[in-house]
């Protein structure tokens, strides 16, 4: 049986951050992720590196954490961050007192917040609703949550950690009360890993997993739905200057804009459904902020769950629950030594969450090494400049014809080949997508899915007879996000994709392979 010091369960940004932190301190780590890195809440978030302004009025501790970590993440992972800056804009009808409370909250939390003339704001962002009444400039930024998770995992791997995707934990190993490892399942079968400490960093899945270990963790799962528009309407993060509510945040993400979010309590992190009423709110509020939304092309919609920690599970939409995080030592709390949970928190504060978790683990392991993640860049900063979407455009120059696998997002054969070793020998186009943006453009995999499949086949990743299944799985996964916004241009796009895959490739037939 395999042995290690720490097993981290969950490959979201928190789990990857914990693995990175522990590996850097010289602790042996195996990270197990049921699907792919950033599959859960991490990859379904807004992609906002919070300045903390969203919590400045009612959650000052979270606000302070956000601004501190915002500055650290920019420093240690500049290639994952686009320092867009942000604006908070007030529209007619918004509670005017919020503006002043926000400024005061920002001052108290130490968030740089500068009032801006409406005319100047409109000059910075001409797509904004021209009726805005007041504006503030904020240090928000856009962050690529997939890349941030992957870069943490890669940094951990360089320090000796093992990252295993598509490895689902199905049980815990016990020695009396003590949790001494996990049993997990991957493509090859079931395996066991013994560990001195098991860390649950499984977000919304943390609750059922803890229950599996006989431990109760109170958690409210708050679903947030978001819509991706095909165009980058604004170059800055646009906040609505009002008490946090539905659909008051538009974030530029590469060539797209993302509007979100809603907040609806759900029982499980699996099988999330985006409701029509959510889309109505997202799009109509989006039009309020940026009128061009009405003519824009909706690319897809997606939903994630905020795993909000709460000892007593509350009713309501979860907006009143702290966005703070908690490290739970189940040895002390539930008489299950060897098990630690990290719950709550935010993408922006992932590093601090990882630091506190690793501190707790080191304490349990009697390892006396200080955390250094705040001062060590994830990568050699010289080698990787700021994340800029125009770099992709530059690839057009360098990429020979026929070498561009995904034309919408400009992903070359070379870029895909480079990440194939990270796929654990599995052919999964979604894993390629998460690492390269393949299939994330307007055609949503229409033209690149079969090319990507052919590439993986040529590299020997696709097992005989498996091709149609690999392709079908990705097409269905892409369609699940298109389905809620199936109108206009995206409907026409899907008609073409349908013709391609179902008419030409017979992908709608049972005997397709």
Q: Which residues bind another protein (CB under 8 A)?
A: 126, 230-232, 235, 254-255, 292, 295-297, 389-390, 392-394, 396-397, 400-401, 404, 407-408, 410, 441-443, 446-447, 489, 492-493, 496
CB of 301 to another protein, least distance (A): 17
Supply 205's token pair: 């899945």
Q: Which is nearer to another protein, 369 or 394 (CB)?
A: 394
Q: Which is nearer to another protein, 67 or 258 (CB)?
A: 258
Q: Where are the alpha helices (DSSP H) in 366-466?
A: 390-398, 413-419, 429-436, 449-458
Supply 33's token pair: 């992720």
Q: Which is nearer to another protein, 97 or 295 (CB)?
A: 295
CB of 404 to another protein, least distance (A): 7
Question: How far is residue 240's CA from residue 90's CA, in Å, rounded to a whole number?
Answer: 6
Q: Is-contact 117 143, C-beta < 8 A?
A: no
Q: Which is nearer to another protein, 267 or 401 (CB)?
A: 401
Whether the CA torsion 256, 259, 261, 267 is positive or negative: it is: negative
- In sequence order, the β-bridge partners of residue 113 are none
Strands (E), 278-375: 298-309, 325-329, 339-344
How far is the CA of 218 from the CAs of 7, 107, 146, 171, in angstroms? 22, 33, 27, 20
CB of 488 to another protein, least distance (A): 9
Question: How far is residue 83's CA from residue 93's CA, in Å, rounded to a whole number?
Answer: 30
Q: Which is nearer to another protein, 203 or 439 (CB)?
A: 439
> Closest by alpha carbon to 43, among 296, 263, 303, 292?
303
Q: Find the Cα–Cα–Cα–Cα dihedral 316, 319, 323, 328, rounded to 10°.
A: 0
> Closest by alpha carbon to 472, among 417, 423, 512?
512
Q: Which is nearer to another protein, 242 or 451 (CB)?
A: 451
Q: Which is nearer to another protein, 175 or 504 (CB)?
A: 504
CB of 451 to another protein, least distance (A): 12
Q: Which is nearer to another protein, 98 or 498 (CB)?
A: 498
CB of 394 to another protein, least distance (A): 6
Q: Is-contact 357 347, C-beta < 8 A?
A: no
Q: Is-contact 319 283, C-beta < 8 A?
A: no
CB of 392 to another protein, least distance (A): 6
Supply 198's token pair: 């098991």
CB of 499 to another protein, least distance (A): 10
Q: Which is nearer to another protein, 97 or 397 (CB)?
A: 397
> Which contiguous run of DSSP H or E holds residue 405?
strand 404-406
CB of 386 to another protein, least distance (A): 13
CB of 441 to another protein, least distance (A): 8
DSSP state at residue 163: E
Q: Is-contact 228 77, C-beta < 8 A?
A: no
SS3 for 273-293 is CCCHHHHHHHHHHHHHHCHHH
- The single residue listed with the structure tokens 């395996």 is 191
Which three-class secondary structure state does DSSP give residue 467? helix
Q: Which is nearer to another protein, 295 or 366 (CB)?
A: 295
Question: How far is residue 477's CA from residue 206's CA, in Å, rounded to a whole number?
Answer: 24
- The single residue listed with the structure tokens 């979100």 is 260
CB of 503 to another protein, least distance (A): 14
Q: Which is nearer to another protein, 392 or 463 (CB)?
A: 392
Supply 406's token pair: 């995904």
CB of 410 to another protein, least distance (A): 7
Contacts of 189 (CB under 8 A, 6+ apart): none
Whether the CA torsion 75, 76, 81, 87 is positive or negative: it is: negative
CB of 143 to another protein, least distance (A): 18
Q: Which is nearer to another protein, 476 or 489 (CB)?
A: 489
């Amino acid at each position: 049986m395999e042995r290690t010091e720490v097993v981290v369960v969950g490959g979201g940004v928190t789990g990857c951050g914990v693995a990175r932190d522990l590996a850097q301190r010289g602790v042996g780590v195996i990270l197990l992720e049921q699907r792919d890195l950033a599959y859960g809440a991490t990859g379904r978030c807004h992609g906002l590196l919070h300045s903390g302004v969203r919590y400045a009025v009612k959650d000052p501790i979270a606000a302070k954490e956000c601004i501190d970590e915002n500055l650290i993440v920019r420093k240690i992972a500049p290639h994952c961050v686009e320092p867009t800056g942000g604006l908070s804009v007030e529209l007619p009808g918004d509670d005017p007192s919020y503006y002043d409370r926000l400024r005061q909250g920002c001052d108290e939390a130490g968030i740089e917040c500068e009032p801006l003339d409406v005319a100047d704001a409109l000059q910075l962002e001409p797509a904004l609703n021209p009726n805005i009444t007041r504006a503030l400039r904020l240090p928000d930024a856009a962050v690529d949550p997939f890349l941030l998770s992957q870069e943490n995992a890669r940094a951990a791997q360089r320090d000796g950690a093992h990252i295993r995707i598509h490895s689902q934990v199905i049980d815990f190993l016990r020695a009396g009360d003590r949790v001494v490892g996990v049993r997990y399942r991957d493509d090859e079968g079931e395996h066991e890993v013994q560990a001195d400490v098991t860390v649950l960093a499984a977000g919304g899945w943390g609750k059922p997993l803890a229950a599996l270990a006989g431990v109760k963790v109170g958690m409210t799962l708050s679903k947030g739905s978001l819509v991706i528009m095909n165009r980058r309407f604004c170059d800055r993060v646009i906040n609505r200057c009002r008490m946090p509510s539905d659909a008051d945040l538009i974030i530029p993400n590469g060539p797209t804009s993302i509007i979100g979010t809603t907040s609806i309590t759900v029982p499980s992190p699996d099988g999330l459904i985006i409701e029509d009423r959510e889309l109505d709110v997202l799009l109509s509020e989006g039009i309020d902020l940026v009128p061009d939304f009405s003519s824009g092309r909706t690319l897809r919609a997606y939903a994630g769950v905020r795993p909000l920690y709460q000892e007593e599970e509350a009713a309501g939409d979860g907006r009143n629950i702290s966005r703070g995080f908690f490290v739970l030592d189940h040895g002390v709390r539930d008489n299950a030594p060897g098990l630690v949970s990290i719950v709550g928190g935010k993408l922006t504060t992932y590093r601090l969450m990882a630091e506190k978790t690793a501190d707790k683990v080191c304490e349990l392991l009697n390892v006396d090494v200080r955390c250094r993640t705040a001062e060590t860049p994830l990568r050699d900063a010289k080698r990787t400049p700021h994340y800029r979407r125009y770099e992709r455009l530059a690839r057009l120059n360098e990429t020979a014809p026929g070498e561009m696998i995904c034309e919408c997002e400009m992903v070359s054969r070379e870029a895909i080949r480079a990440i194939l070793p990270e796929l654990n020998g599995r052919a999964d186009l979604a894993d390629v997508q998460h690492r390269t943006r393949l299939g994330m453009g307007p055609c949503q995999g229409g033209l690149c899915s079969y090319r990507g499949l052919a590439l993986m086949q040529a590299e020997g990743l696709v097992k005989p007879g498996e091709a149609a299944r690999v392709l079908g799985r990705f097409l269905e996964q892409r369609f699940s996000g298109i389905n809620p916004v199936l109108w206009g241009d995206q409907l026409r796009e899907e008609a073409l994709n349908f013709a391609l895959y179902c008419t030409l490739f017979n992908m709608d037939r049972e005997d397709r392979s």
